[in-house]
Structures are given as C-alpha cells and as structure tokens.
Amino acid sequence: MRSPKEIRRRHMRWRQTFVYTLLVGVVAVVGVMALGMWNGQLAAVLQTGFKVNATEEPNLRAVPCPSSPNARYPDPSAVEARVLNGGGQSGYAAAAAKVLAAQGFPEPSAGNTSPYAGLLQLVTGVKGVDSAYTLLQFSPEGSVIVLDGREDATVDVVLGAAYTQLRTPDEIDYEPGGQIVALERCRAAEDLLEELPTTAASASSSASPSGAATE
C-alpha cells in the first residue's frame, strides 16, 4: 500500500504532465497561427466570414442612366438641389450649399438627414437623373447617384461621414449642354424604379429644418 507521501507525489506528477502538455499544445497552436498569418492563409480564412456581398457596396450597385443616350448636361441654373448633412459634421451642408450657389445653382437649401456612412450620394427621382449627373461633376470622386420614388426633378445632395469638400474649380471638367457621360453599370431609371419597394420614401422626408445645429 502506497504511503500518503507517494500518493501526493503521483498526483503532482499528473498535474505537471497535464500542465506541460497543455502548454505545449498552446504553443503549437500559436505557432501554426503565426505561420498562417505570415503566409497570408489565415487572413484569407478569417476574412471569409466577414466578406461583404458585392451587390451591397454603394459603388457596385446599379445606378440610373441618363434620360436618353443623347441626353445633355442641364445648366446649373436649371437644377433644383438641396444639401443634407448625413455625416454629423457641423457646418458642412451650409458650406457646400454656398459653394454650389457660387457655381450657378439657384440657392440650394441646407439641412440635416439620417446618418450616412459613405462619401456623397445624389438622391433623385426619374425626372431628376440628368440634373443629378450635372451635380455629379461638382461632387468628389466616388460619389454615387441613388434613385428614389419622388415625382419631381429635385436632387438631394447627401453628405456622408467620409465627405470633406466638393471639387475645386480646377477639378471640374463640365460643359453645360455637353453630352452626359453615363456611369458604368447604369440601367434605365424606369427599370430601377420598378424594383424599388412600393413604400420607399423620398430621402427628403427625413430631412430636418435648415436651421438644425449640424447643418
């Protein structure tokens, strides 16, 4: 019969064996992960579960085409626009409205709208698509045109969290009356409108008065 001392020694050896085995296993796993990160394989596996569907990317989804293949850019004086701050940056909408007014757009109003995480989107209905293409020439690269169900030709210039400023005069390559250059992946506005939810509301419905604080 083993003495209590021998039993304690055996239990200690078991615990030590378990602890050492566990440590070796952890080190092995960490080593494998480090090797995977080094050669890029682990990163590929980890990113798989967080991949965003390409159709959900704002810059990859279909955008409306101009009203016709020979459509011309409307003059800024014929474009009715308002600037809405969706990024929360104080004063951005008012500043952008002043810049557009200086470029010939008829006194765009300024206000706030629901949060938008992107850069800048031009929201309009079928009648305002050509006007949106004109505004696109003054918008930073990466801006998008978004169709909604409004029935007039107004365009909402929605500034997102990534917005900083409109294009400077030397960046603008625009000629009123010139033929509109359609965006890639564009589709007929009427076709896109049919795919909109019947309850889709105009972006203007969520705008707050122009006197709002972050305007």
Phi and psi dihedrals of 156, rounded to 5?
A: -95, 125
pLDDT value at 126 more than 50 = yes
* 25 — pLDDT class (breaks 50, 70, 90): low
Q: 123: which strand partners?
A: 146, 156
Q: Name the residue with higher pLDDT: 52 or 86.
A: 86
Q: Name the residue with higher pLDDT: 47 or 138.
A: 138
Instruction: Tell whether 87 and 165 lie within a shared domain.
Output: yes
* Chain CA centroid to CA 18, Å: 52
Q: Give 106's DSSP letter.
A: -
Instruction: Tell whether 172 and 70 lie within a shared domain.
Output: yes
User: Which tokens belong to 9?
Assistant: 């020694």
State how many domains the chain has. Answer: 2
User: Which tokens belong to 58?
Assistant: 């704002």
Q: What's the whole-number mean pLDDT along residues 59-78?
A: 88
**Is 115 contained in some domain?**
yes
Whole-angstrom distance, CA of residue 126 vs CA of residue 137 = 19
Domain carrying residue 12: 4-48
Query: Between β-strands 155-159 and 120-124, what pairing exists: parallel, antiparallel or unpaired?
Result: antiparallel
Instruction: Tell whether 37 and 64 lie within a shared domain.
Output: no
User: Which tokens belong to 120?
Assistant: 């800048």
Cβ count within 10 A of residue 36: 15
Whole-angstrom distance, CA of residue 115 vs CA of residue 121 = 12
Averaged confidence pLDDT in the chain: 79
* 194 — pLDDT class (breaks 50, 70, 90): confident
Instruction: Tell whether 14 and 63 lie within a shared domain.
Output: no
Cα torsion at 176, 73, 109, 119 (round to 10°)? -110
User: Which tokens belong to 140?
Assistant: 């930073």
Whole-angstrom distance, CA of residue 156 vs CA of residue 132 = 9
Helix 41-48, helix 4-39: angle, nearest 10: 90
Domain finish residue from 48, 64, 82: 48
**Is 103 contained in some domain?**
yes
**Is 212 contained in some domain?**
no
Burial of residue 116, with CB atoms counted within 10 A of its CB: 0-12 exposed, 13-18 middle, 19 or more buried: buried
The pTM of this model reads 0.67
Whole-angstrom distance, CA of residue 148 vs CA of residue 10 = 76
